[in-house]
Amino acid sequence: ASTRNAPGTAPSAGFVQVRGARENNLRDVDVDVPRDAIVAFTGVSGSGKSSLAFGTIFAEAQRRFLESVAPYARRLIQQGHTPQVDEITGLPPAVALQQRRGAPSSRSSVGTLTTLSNSLRMLYSRAGLYPTDAQRLESDSFSPNTVAGACPRCHGLGTAHTVTEATLVPDVTLSIREGAIAAWPGAWQGKNLRDILITLGYDVDTPWQSLPHEARDWILFTAEQPVVEVTPQRDRIAKPYQGRFWSAKSYVLHTLADSKSQSQRERALRFVESGPCPVCDGSGLTPAALAVTVVGRSIAELNLMPLTGLAELLRPTLRPGAGAQTAEPGIEPTDAAVTLTRDLLARIEVLLELGLGYLSLGRATPTLSPGEMQRLRIATQLRSGLFGVIYVLDEPSAGLHPADAEPLVLVLEQLKASGNSVFVVEHNMDIVRRADWVVDVGPLAGAGGGAVLYSGPISGLAEVTDSVTRQFLFPAAPESESAPEAQPAAVRTPARWLGLHGVTRHNLQGVDASFPIGVLTAVTGVSGSGKSTLVSQVLADAVRLALHPDVDASVASTVTAPDDADGDDDLGDSPGAQEPRARVDRITGLEAVDRLVRVDQKPIGRTPRSNLATYTGLFDAVRATFAATETARSRGYGAGRFSFNVPGGRCETCLGEGSVSVGLLFLPGSYTPCPACQGSRYNPETLEVTYRGKSVADVLGLSVAEAVGFLADVPAAARSLATLSEVGLGYLRLGQPATELSGGEAQRIKLATELQRARRGHTMYLLDEPPTGLHPADVRLLLAQLGRLVDAGNTVIVVEHNLDVVAAADWVIDLGPAGGDAGGRIVATGTPDAVARHPHSRTAPYLARRLA
Name the segment binding Zn ion (CB under 5 A); options: 501-509, 640-648, 670-678, 839-847. Answer: 670-678
Strand-pairing partners, residue 33, are 16
CA distance 414 to 376: 15
The CB-of-348 to ligand ADP minimum distance in angstroms stands at 15
Give 165 or 281: the residue with its C-beta nearer to Zn ion.
281
Q: Is 375 in the site for ligand ADP (CB under 6 A)?
A: no
Q: Is 125 in the site for ligand ADP (CB under 6 A)?
A: no
* Cβ proximity of 402 and 846 under 8 Å: yes
CA distance 151 to 48: 51
Q: Is 448 in the site for ligand ADP (CB under 6 A)?
A: no
Q: Is 527 in the site for ligand ADP (CB under 6 A)?
A: yes
Q: If contact means CB under 5 to 8 A according to the sort of partner, which of Zn ion, ligand ADP, none does residue 738 touch?
A: none
* Cβ proximity of 287 and 142 under 8 Å: no
Q: Is 676 in the site for Zn ion (CB under 5 A)?
A: yes
- DSSP string for residues in 794-836: -EEEEE---HHHHHH-SEEEEEESSSGGG--EEEEEE-HHHHH
- DSSP string for residues in 50-64: HHHIIIIIIHHHHHH
Q: Is 300 in the site for Zn ion (CB under 5 A)?
A: no
Answer for which of 120, 137, 277, 517 binds Zn ion (CB under 5 A) is: 277
Answer for which of 251, 358, 619, 642 binds ligand ADP (CB under 6 A) is: 358
- DSSP string for residues in 580-610: PPPEEEEEE-GGG--EEEEE--S-S-SSTTS
How many binding residues for ligand ADP (CB under 6 A)?
32
Give 293 or 367: the residue with its C-beta nearer to ligand ADP.
367
Q: Is 731 in the site for ligand ADP (CB under 6 A)?
A: yes
Q: Is 48 in the site for ligand ADP (CB under 6 A)?
A: yes
Q: If contact means CB under 5 to 8 A according to the sort of partner, which of Zn ion, ligand ADP, none does residue 43 touch?
A: ligand ADP
| Residue at 305: amino acid letter | M
Give 705 or 808: the residue with its C-beta nearer to ligand ADP.
705
* The dihedral formed by the CA atoms of 831, 833, 839 and 844, expressed in degrees to the nearest 10: 90
Name which of residues 144 to 173 contact Zn ion (CB under 5 A): 151, 153-154
Name which of residues 624 to 663 contact Zn ion (CB under 5 A): 651, 653-654
Tell me the backbone φ, ψ of residue 750, rounded to 5 degrees: -60, -40
Q: If contact means CB under 5 to 8 A according to the sort of partner, which of Zn ion, ligand ADP, none does residue 437 touch?
A: none
Q: If contact means CB under 5 to 8 A according to the sort of partner, which of Zn ion, ligand ADP, none does residue 506 touch?
A: ligand ADP
Secondary structure E strands in 157-217? 159-162
Q: Is 25 in the site for ligand ADP (CB under 6 A)?
A: yes
Answer for which of 530, 605, 648, 658 binds ligand ADP (CB under 6 A) is: 530
Q: Is 279 in the site for Zn ion (CB under 5 A)?
A: yes
Give 168 or 674: the residue with its C-beta nearer to Zn ion.
674
Q: Is 772 in the site for ligand ADP (CB under 6 A)?
A: no
Q: Is 43 in the site for ligand ADP (CB under 6 A)?
A: yes
The CB-of-204 to ligand ADP minimum distance in angstroms stands at 45
Strand-pairing partners, residue 703, are 733
Neighbour order of strands in the sheet with 29-34:
29-34, 15-21, 85-89
Name the segment binding ligand ADP (CB under 6 A); options: 320-328, 528-536, 673-681, 800-808. Answer: 528-536
Give 47 or 643: the residue with its C-beta nearer to ligand ADP.
47
| Contacts (Cβ under 8 Å, ≥6 apart) of 414 | 382
Name which of residues 415 to 474 contact Zn ion (CB under 5 A): none
**C-alpha neighbours within 13 Å on the C-beta side of residue 256:** 21
Q: Is 523 in the site for Zn ion (CB under 5 A)?
A: no
CA distance 820 to 733: 42
The CB-of-820 to ligand ADP minimum distance in angstroms stands at 4
Answer for which of 533, 557, 756, 772 binds ligand ADP (CB under 6 A) is: 533
**C-alpha neighbours within 13 Å on the C-beta side of residue 794:** 23
CB neighbour class for 662 (10 Å; exposed up to 12, middle 13-18, buried from 19) = exposed
Q: Is 544 in the site for ligand ADP (CB under 6 A)?
A: no
Q: Which of 435, 454, 434 is nearest to 443 (CA)?
A: 454
Tell me the backbone φ, ψ of residue 88, rounded to 5 degrees: -130, 125
Tell me the backbone φ, ψ of residue 239, rounded to 5 degrees: -85, 155
| Residue at 131: amino acid letter | P
How many binding residues for Zn ion (CB under 5 A)?
12
Q: Is 525 in the site for ligand ADP (CB under 6 A)?
A: yes
Q: If contact means CB under 5 to 8 A according to the sort of partner, which of ligand ADP, Zn ion, none does residue 677 touch?
A: Zn ion
Give 195 or 372: the residue with its C-beta nearer to ligand ADP.
372
Answer for which of 3, 47, 374, 558 binds ligand ADP (CB under 6 A) is: 47
Q: If contact means CB under 5 to 8 A according to the sort of partner, which of Zn ion, ligand ADP, none does residue 277 touch?
A: Zn ion
Q: What distances in angstroms separate CA 808 from CA 519, 520, 747, 774, 802, one per listed residue? A: 11, 8, 20, 16, 10
Strand-pairing partners, residue 477, are none
Packed helices 402-417 and 335-353: angle between N→C axes, nearest 10 degrees: 130
Contact residues for ligand ADP, defined by CB under 6 A? 24-25, 43, 45-51, 358-359, 363, 367, 445-446, 506-507, 525, 527-533, 576, 731-732, 740, 819-820
Contact residues for Zn ion, defined by CB under 5 A? 151, 153-154, 277, 279-280, 651, 653-654, 674, 676-677
